[in-house]
Amino acid sequence: MAKTKASGAPKAETFNRFTFLQRISHIVFLITFSLLGFTGLPQKFPQSPISIGIFDLLGGVENARLIHHTSAVIMLIISLVHILDITYGFFVLRKPISMIPWFNDLQHVINDVLYYIGVRKHKGYYGRYSYAEKMEYLAVIWGTAVMALTGFMMWNPITTVRLLPGEAIPAAKAAHGGEAVLAVLAIIIWHFYNVHIKTINKSMFTGHLDRHEMEHEHPAELAGIDEGKVAAPAIPAKTLRLRRVIYAPFALVVTAAFGLGIFYLVGVENTAISTMPIGETAQIFSPLPSATPRPTPTPAPFVAPSAVTWNAFAGPLFVEKCSNCHGINGAGGLNLSTYQTAIKGGSNGPDIVSKDSANSKLAQVQSAGGHPGQLSADELTYVKKWIDAGAPEK
């Protein structure tokens, strides 16, 4: 169980506490745990400015989730390693399960409290592991199981609700968040105090404690060692081989189950589309037929005049189309409302040159188009015919 590496002076005497694998597992676990808490808690409290600061630091919530998911997978792998480590120790090496809380742990708590309030002169005599360590270890086991299970459910909701009701997903989220807060705060209060503040216990990194530290923290175990109650006798090679053969399929099944779980966790379910949801499908610009700002009067169909004269054609046409400006208002000095004034022309001379529509300003202006009171093409054709015929009155 614990081995003395005594080489003379009692000061140099050390007591092994953790194997190399356990120390590595602890380091991996503490890194992934910190990353999970650091990237997970801000997602539980998205409204907090601290959370937003953390997301900014990580380059956005998508990165935080990637780190969270990656850490989770690594933590699951190291959990598998630990399960195999522990079960091998128990089934093959027949090491005692020293992490299970027992009645004497309760006795130690009472002893400690009595010591704190000054009733007893010393604390409880802890064995291989104190109640503080057992409590923390079991919390890790419980917490990892809850987090892995609920994390799987949230990561794969569609697979989950094939077996469970839909409510399992928000329930998983509630438990995941509650457990996270509990775990992180417990680490800060309990773990930090017990191994970083009260004493600086480096055994999880060095693997051993010295006699002085053992006297402080595991007096009962030390007493046992000193009395010669050391580890169980060596196991005969043949027995060991047999146990290993029996253990191997168990280890395989556990590994396969974990592997399958991690495989499903990461890669099987396609939860949601990666494209954008379809927004408004209606045509954005779909003007009403009446959207034209103002209705314009439709021109009456052109009726060829009975005679191309002022009285029968040009006079009524000019009154209708032109006299609004070139009437008694006389824009530009031109009044087209009477035959006499029309022939006379405007302030710059005649606008109608008899028998020469090409040189008549009226025809020129109208041919160019865009004049207020614009004549239609048919009307203009007949006006030109009228001028070319000598602009007759009757």
Task: Provide the minimum distance between the beta carbon of 78 and other proteins in the complex, in angstroms, as a whole number.
Answer: 24
Cβ closer to other proteins: 255 or 367?
367
Specify the 3-state DSSP secondary structure of 299: coil
Q: Does 364 bind other proteins (CB under 8 A)?
A: no
Closest CB to other proteins among residues 325, 343? 325
What is d(CA 314, CA 343) in angstroms, rounded to the nearest whole number?
A: 12
Residues 38-57 as x/- pattern, contact with other proteins by CB under 8 A? -----x--xx---xx--xx-
DSSP output for 365-394: HHHH---TTPPPHHHHHHHHHHHHTT----
125 is an interface residue for other proteins by CB under 8 A = yes
385 near other proteins, judged by CB under 8 A? no
Residue 230 binds other proteins, judged by CB under 8 A: no
Residue 80 or 112: the one with the smaller Cβ distance to other proteins is 112
Q: How many CB atoms lie within 10 A of CB 186?
A: 16
164 lies in the site for other proteins, by CB under 8 A: yes
How wide is the angle at C-alpha 153 spanned by C-alphas 151 and 154, nearest 5°? 65
Which 186-205 positions form the footprint of other proteins (CB under 8 A)? 186, 189-190, 193-194, 197-198
Piece in contact with other proteins (CB under 8 A), picked from 21-29, 83-91, 127-135, 201-209: 127-135
Please identify which residue in the block is written with the tokens 């800060």. 188
Nearer to other proteins, 227 or 234 (CB): 227
* Residue 141 or 325 with smaller CB distance to other proteins: 325
Task: For residues 67 and 22, give the distance between their C-alpha atoms in angstroms, rounded to a whole number.
Answer: 24
Q: How many residues bind other proteins (CB under 8 A)?
A: 106
Helix 131-155 crosses helix 168-186 at what angle (to 10 degrees)? 150
Q: Which of 145, 148, 140 minimizes the C-alpha distance to 69? A: 148
378 lies in the site for other proteins, by CB under 8 A: no
Residue closer to other proteins by CB (options 18, 115) is 115
Q: Is 243 a binder of other proteins (CB under 8 A)?
A: no
| Site track 81-120 with other proteins (rule: CB under 8 A), x = hit | ---------------x-x---x-x--x-x--xx-xxx---
- Which member of 207, 219, 315, 392 binds other proteins (CB under 8 A)? 219
Q: Is 309 in the site for other proteins (CB under 8 A)?
A: no
Residues 132-151, interacting with other proteins (CB under 8 A): 132
Which residues on adjacent β-strands are paired with residue 15?
4, 209
Return the number of the residue (51 or 381) whose C-beta is nearest other proteins.
51
User: Interface with other proteins includes 123 (CB under 8 A)?
Assistant: yes
Helices within 303-374 (DSSP H only): 315-321, 339-344, 361-368
Q: Which two tokens stand for residue 19?
A: 């194997």
Q: Is 333 in the site for other proteins (CB under 8 A)?
A: no
DSSP state of 166: T
3-state secondary structure of 201: coil
Q: What are phi and psi of 38, to 5 degrees?
A: -65, -35
Q: Distance (Å, rounded) from C-alpha 365 to C-alpha 322?
A: 12
The yes or no reply on residue 299 touching other proteins (CB under 8 A) is: yes
User: Is position 11 an interface residue for other proteins (rule: CB under 8 A)?
Assistant: no
- Verify binding: residue 3, other proteins, rule CB under 8 A: no
Query: Site for other proteins (CB under 8 A): which residue of 9, 200, 272, 304?
Result: 272
- List the structure tokens of 128: 């291989």
CA 219 to CA 195: how far, in whole Å? 17
Q: Are 94 and 235 in contact (CB under 8 A)?
A: yes
